[in-house]
Amino acid sequence: MKELLIHACVLTPESTFRQVQPANGITFTPEELIQIVQGHIKIVPLKGQYSGKVLVMTSNAEGRRLGLKFNPIASELANRPVLGQVLICERKLIQ
């Protein structure tokens, strides 16, 4: 059996992290992304490469309207204001 190493984490506005992986072990489905960001998905490319990997952040597209909390670490990574809980992962992990 092939060993699968997933590098994806959920980052909250309170600056807590937790490692996650797709239910199918390969890619996150749109439904999983909606559940993680608690609403409509917005994909934010992160500048540069990290350890040779292209990373993206998924956030809630309606964060301001919903009154979600400011996420300071996610905002710094994205170089723009980000609200709510986000998923940070390799681009290839998103369907």
DSSP 70: B
DSSP 89: E
Angle (CA) 72 88 6, round 5°: 145
Q: Where does the pLDDT of residue 88 fall: very low under 50, low under 70, confident under 90, or very high at 90 and above? A: very high
DSSP 51: T
Which pLDDT tens digit goes with each residue over 16-71? 999 999 999 899 999 999 999 999 999 988 876 566 677 889 999 999 999 999 99
**pLDDT exceeds cutoff 70 at 80:** yes
Beta strands in the chain (DSSP E): 8-11, 17-19, 41-50, 53-60, 86-90
pTM: 0.85
